[in-house]
Amino acid sequence: MENQEISKELLFSHFEGSASVRQRQLIDEWARKPENEEQFYWYLTEWEMAQPGLAVDVEQGMRRYRSRVELTNVVTEEEIGVPARHYWPRYIAACAVLLLISIGVLYRNDILYANLTTGPGQVRSWTLSDGSRVKLNASSELRLPRWGFGQTSREVSLKGEATFSITHQANNQRFIVKAGDGVNVTVLGTEFSVYSRPGKTEVILSKGKVTLQRREQKLVMKPGDSVIVENGTLSHNRFVGATHNTIQWESRFDFDRTSLSEVAHILEINYGLTVDFSSPELKSLTVSGSFQASNAQELIRSVSQILGIGYSFKASRVVFLSEPAER
């Protein structure tokens, strides 16, 4: 068969598995010829790099390539070393193919996924392609597929804190949030919040119904439910009012017997501050109530006044003091 009869489009249909039996036979005969091998692998690499859901197995590709070389080229011990001149194009092509595949593997996550992020003290909202809305709290990251979201699946990964308002799909497609501690939250259409920081994961349901799974544990949450995974232990609770919410949004902070150590963690996460204590005993002090604070210093001042303690705030470092500062 003549080379020009094997087009790029025909090869792509072959790679996709849509070529006819006769076409596959002709392509196989064409690809076995040494003069066509370079073109075949170039097109194969181009097709693989264009498939966002394709996991490229470099090791398997190397084994397949070596096997093909061993079957088609008989090399004596004396010939090993410098390749013959007429093999140079093929070696260059093979190196280029492997380089492209390696780059694809290295940057695979950047190619396949988009990251929605917020910095310290920043809160942002997005509407996803399926119509669902997400609000990210400070220093948080949500990862979702660049292609096929809302079509083949609706699965995202969260690091940090977020509130979701999920749009129900006509085909009842599930929306899955992967959080820390192996927690997966599965919903159809509802409103809920997820807190996913190192050492603690919490899910709070506002409306609708969600299924939460962690390893072999699986439970159904109802509005008002809170599930916390901390220190490897899962607890399922109900709460009344908003004071239980672990997520503290910009300008409003609700505390319910919250330790000063936890307040310090919020300051570190939300505002990127470094927090220290003049005495270890300060960490166990607790504060309750709702506070309005437009910035970090307002929150620090309010908490310190309630607890009757002092603080110093210079640059990005806060130190809580046992005694109130002199006026």
pLDDT-derived band at 255 (thresholds 50, 70, 90) equals confident
pLDDT-derived band at 230 (thresholds 50, 70, 90) equals confident
Q: Are 118 and 124 in contact (CB under 8 A)?
A: yes
- Give dist(CA 26, CA 276) in Å, integer: 73
Q: Name every residue whose Cβ is closer than 8 Å to that of residue 51 and which is 6 or more positions away in sequence.
A: none
pLDDT-derived band at 14 (thresholds 50, 70, 90) equals confident
Residues 15 and 61 in one domain: yes
Average pLDDT, rounded, for the chain: 76
Residues 230 and 133 in one domain: yes
How do residues 82-107 score in pLDDT, each as one tens digit? 444 444 555 555 565 555 555 555 55
What pLDDT, on the 0 to 100 scale, is given for residue 304? 93
Q: Are 186 and 175 in contact (CB under 8 A)?
A: yes
Residue bearing the bigger pLDDT, 19 or 64 = 19
How do residues 106-144 score in pLDDT, each as one tens digit? 555 566 788 888 888 788 888 888 888 999 988 899 998
Report whether pLDDT(8) > 60: yes
Q: Please give the DSSP secondary-structure letter assigned to residue 283.
A: G
What pLDDT, on the 0 to 100 scale, is given for residue 262? 87
Q: Are 268 and 315 in contact (CB under 8 A)?
A: no
Read off the amino acid at residue 237. Answer: N
pTM of the model: 0.55
Read off the amino acid at residue 163. Answer: T
Out of 50, 73, 106, a domain closes at 106
* Domain-embedded: residue 244: no
Residues 147 and 120 in one domain: yes
* Domain-embedded: residue 197: yes
Helix (H) / strand (E) containing 259:
strand 251-259
The distance from CA 203 to its chain's CA centroid, rounded to whole angstroms, is 18
Report whether pLDDT(282) > 60: yes
The sign of the dihedral angle between the CA atoms of 279, 281, 284, 290 is negative
Q: Collapsing DSSP states into helix, strand and coil, what is residue 195?
A: strand
Residues 88 and 174 in one domain: no
How do residues 30-41 score in pLDDT, each as one tens digit? 887 776 776 777
Domain count of the fold of the chain: 3
How far is the CA of 60 from the CAs of 34, 81, 109, 223, in angstroms? Answer: 21, 25, 20, 49
What pLDDT, on the 0 to 100 scale, is given for residue 10? 87
CATH code, domain carrying 234:
2.60.120.1440
* Domain-embedded: residue 327: no
Domain that holds residue 193: 113-238
The DSSP bridge pattern shows strands 155-165 and 175-178 to be parallel
What pLDDT, on the 0 to 100 scale, is given for residue 76? 35
Residues 83 and 117 in one domain: no
* Domain-embedded: residue 146: yes
Out of 182, 208, 238, a domain closes at 238
